[in-house]
Chains A and B, each alone.
Chain A
Amino acid sequence: MHRIGVFVCHCGTNIAATVDVKAVAEAALNETGVVFSADYQYMCSEAGQTLVQDTIKEHKLTGVVVCSCSPRMHEATFRKAAAKAGLNSYMVEIANIREQCSWIHKDMMSGTEKAVILMRAAVAKVKLNAPLTPGQTPVTKRALVIGGGIAGIQTALDIAEAGFDVDIVEKQPTIGGKMTQIDKTFPTLDCASCILTPKMVDCAQNEKIHIYSYSEVESVTGFVGNFTVKIKRKARYIDEKKCTGCGECIEKCPMKKVPNEFNLGLDNRKAIYIPFAQAVPKVATIDSNYCIKLKTGKCGLCSTVCGAGAIDYTQQDTIIEEKYGAIVAATGYNPINIEKFDEFAYSQSPDVITSLELERLMNAAGPSNGTLVRPSYLSNQHDPEAHPHTIVFVQCVGSRSTECRKGSKEYCSKICCMYTAKHAMLIREKYPDTDVYVFYIDVRTPGKLFDEFYRRAVEQYGVHYIKGMVGKVAPKADGKLNVQASDLISNEQLHIDADLVVLATAIEPDKSARSIGTMLTASMDTNDFFTEAHPKLRPVESPTAGVFLSGVAQGPKDIPETVTQASAAAAKVIGILVKDQLTGNPCVAHSDELMCNGCSACEKVCPYGAITYSDKEFRQPDRTVAIRRVASVNPAVCQGCGACTVACPSGAMDLKGFSNQQIMAEVDAICR
């Protein structure tokens, strides 16, 4: 015998203005099984919840329907209230008469009619609800951070600070990421490596942090609290434990013509290398694409000079397996490839460069030791022509554009306005004889001390900001670059003879993000940025439980924002790791073994790998025993998405709390 209570919320005027709540409450009493109905100003208020609880006790309710806002808002509230009154939480149903009804209807008649229908569907469903109890799973007290840039470093440091073990997997030979390549940071102009390297050293020295450099995540299985991750340690042909980082091998290596990726190919490195002086771990790596010994079998000079005996040409990639309670994706970004932007002549002239290349040209550890020279004069830096006198910056190259064929991004890359102001200012400070032009569409400087910083570039340092995009850069016979642009404020066409053109290139998520996202079953947007669970209220969580987001992997951001998000992600991870047990979601799939025909359709569609097949013995009607292959669901892994219930051709697979029977009852109630 059902005893259902229906509670209709006014939500102030949010619902009551377009839905006749009293009529809905009255209509509820016509439904069989409904023994009580009421309407109230704010059901979610303390008084509203007390009304629900008192009614449950007084009328001995077996089920509750709350007609209110989306279950995403207050389902948890009413479930808790019901549990306090002694009713199983899963005997509560929400009819969403706000987002899906009052907010989208203008007319009271049709709004009320729809609200009654939605109430009816919820009553039909709750009658088929069964009490559910969530299970408990243990938590592995170790975290994995994928990516060792400033985001990953900060997340790892904060997790370690709380006393938990944390591993960083970094695909490069050193941690540090993009920030190691940056010269100065805005808006304070402090040296990037001076503030970053102490953190890198902290990571190396912290006994709770383990760095897997030159390594990649190979596969991820499991679920929140219990992930199993395979990590590929790429062969660096060096015994990391023995190498002292003395650099003797690098000194002697005869293979000198390897493009140096740390300096973005502006100079060369050896085949055996340490990316930069402050690398962590400070261990050499042999580039197998260029090493003469590895390619031809001859040479071996490095192994003869290595005092520590660390060189091992026979080293192979190895796979290790680790267990983790939570995973943080901090996979970072790269500037986009701008070769298709022919109008800027990037491929035609070495003196057209990206902003990141300019960082290296201005850095003391860069290819010109910090002297700003035209890249075409890098091998001849003392030539009087090497020094650029007129420099043009172009903003929004590849950002805020729908030219997909060129690899453009529709979003604003966010950091370019500020770093361009920084570059322009630093150049005017160091070389007052230069003329610096910045062509912009908008100057976007939201952030603490950001607009003040940009204004300083204009007012104090005399940088010429011109509204309008550069249309064309044409290399001239004398080596200068003719920059053609329109000054939209004076309505003039400009032609500037520039020595150096710097393109503020759009940034995009690192290419590895997509495959890592797939391994983590973490959702991504069309630009391959990881999607957050809620854009405002859950910005560092992936919709996949136990997966968190840090840094530019989630969307363009500057260093302070990245560090903030990194610490936030760490706090979320710690929130999981401190628990001994995690409470699961009881609304999971289960298979009726008697109906299962062993087709594997469910196993194939399950995005979480929660379904396995095994052979089981079944007693036949004729008392013989038959062995059949049937599906079973691991309730700890199942996230309750319901894909398997749709795929199952025999109706064996069903979702607790959302059974086929319940859904059909709702549909019937709506169509009645």
Chain B
Amino acid sequence: MDKREEILLISGVDPKKCMRCGKCSATCPSYDEMEYHPHQFVYMVETGNIEPLLESKSLYKCLSCFACIERCPRDVEPAKLVEAVRLCAIRQKGANHIKAEDVPELVDEDTPQQLLMSVFRKYSK
């Protein structure tokens, strides 16, 4: 199964329903943090342009607030797509999202170290 189909299967979203109004991005609270915005997620999945999404930090900027789902006039549910792409990234076999040497950089006063441990366990192979 190719990535596009996998994402569609996981999310249950039909990106062809999108009429490119841009309301999802217009409503997104994380817009400024993102490289690819919600409407671009939908279009890139539709056209099968998945790789840049998998590699982009934008995936983790989505707060899953579901404002885009709430407000989409065509019931496209962009946040579900983002979540599906995220899952895809997680499921990539052999992919190493965090290395041991990356951890010290992430240590700061606010982040619980337990969280970093669990991230390391979950996202490294």
Contact = CB atoms under 8 A, between A and B. Distances in A.
Interface of A: 455, 458-459, 462, 467, 489-490
B65 to A, nearest CB: 24
Given A490-B40, A490-B44, A490-B47, A455 B19 contact: yes
Contact of B16 (A459, A489, A490): A459
Contacts of A462: 16
Interface string B26-65: 0000000000000110011001010000000000000000
Given A455-B19, A467-B20, A490 B14 contact: no
B71 interface: no
Contacts of B40: 489-490
A467 B21 CA distance: 12
A455 B16 CA distance: 9
Contacts of A467: 20
A489 B39 CA distance: 9
Contacts of B17: 459
Given A459-B16, A459-B17, A462-B16, 8 more contacts: A455-B19, A458-B19, A459-B14, A489-B43, A490-B40, A490-B43, A490-B44, A490-B47
A489 B43 CA distance: 8
B58 to A, nearest CB: 15
Contacts of B49: 490
Contacts of B20: 467, 489
Q: Is the interface of B mostly helix, strand, loop or mixed?
A: helix
Interface of B: 14, 16-17, 19-20, 39-40, 43-44, 47, 49
A458 B14 CA distance: 11
17 contacts: A455-B19, A458-B16, A458-B19, A459-B14, A459-B16, A459-B17, A462-B16, A467-B20, A489-B20, A489-B39, A489-B40, A489-B43, A490-B40, A490-B43, A490-B44, A490-B47, A490-B49
A48 to B, nearest CB: 48
Nearest to A459: B16
Nearest to A460: B16
A566 to B, nearest CB: 34
A141 B28 CA distance: 68
A455 B44 CA distance: 19
A459 B19 CA distance: 10
A499 to B, nearest CB: 21
Contacts of B16: 458-459, 462
Query: Which 3 residue pairs are nearest across A and B when measured between Cβ atoms?
Result: A459-B16, A489-B43, A459-B17
A593 to B, nearest CB: 72
Contacts of A455: 19
Contacts of B19: 455, 458
A489 B47 CA distance: 11
B103 to A, nearest CB: 36
A455 B14 CA distance: 13
A458 B46 CA distance: 12
Contacts of A489: 20, 39-40, 43
A455 B17 CA distance: 8
A261 B29 CA distance: 59
A441 to B, nearest CB: 13
Contacts of A458: 16, 19
A458 to B, nearest CB: 6
Q: Which of B14, B16, B17 has the most CB of A within 10 A?
A: B16
A459 B17 CA distance: 6
Nearest to A464: B47
A462 B49 CA distance: 17
A352 B39 CA distance: 33
Nearest to B18: A458
Contacts of B44: 490
A389 B50 CA distance: 25
Contacts of B14: 459
Contacts of A459: 14, 16-17
A291 B55 CA distance: 71
A459 B18 CA distance: 9
A490 B40 CA distance: 7
A458 B42 CA distance: 14
A659 to B, nearest CB: 61
Nearest to B16: A459
Nearest to B42: A489
A601 to B, nearest CB: 62
A459 B13 CA distance: 12
A453 to B, nearest CB: 14
Nearest to A462: B16
A432 to B, nearest CB: 15
Nearest to A458: B16
Contacts of B43: 489-490
A467 B39 CA distance: 14
A489 B44 CA distance: 10
A476 to B, nearest CB: 24
A489 B15 CA distance: 14
Scoring A458, A459, A462, A467 by chain B CB atoms within 10 A of each residue's CB, the highest score goes to A459
A125 B29 CA distance: 69
A455 B40 CA distance: 19
A157 B124 CA distance: 79
Nearest to A454: B19
Nearest to B20: A489
A88 to B, nearest CB: 61
A455 to B, nearest CB: 7
A394 B20 CA distance: 19
A490 B47 CA distance: 10
A455 B39 CA distance: 18
A612 to B, nearest CB: 64
A112 to B, nearest CB: 49
A58 B106 CA distance: 98
A462 to B, nearest CB: 7
A490 B49 CA distance: 10
A333 B103 CA distance: 72
A463 B16 CA distance: 9
A16 B78 CA distance: 55
A162 B62 CA distance: 67
A459 B74 CA distance: 11
A462 B17 CA distance: 10
B40 to A, nearest CB: 7
A627 to B, nearest CB: 80
A456 to B, nearest CB: 11
Nearest to B74: A455
A14 B1 CA distance: 69
Nearest to A490: B43
A538 to B, nearest CB: 37
Nearest to A451: B19
B48 to A, nearest CB: 11
A455 B18 CA distance: 9
B94 to A, nearest CB: 29
A489 B45 CA distance: 13
A462 B48 CA distance: 14
B13 to A, nearest CB: 12
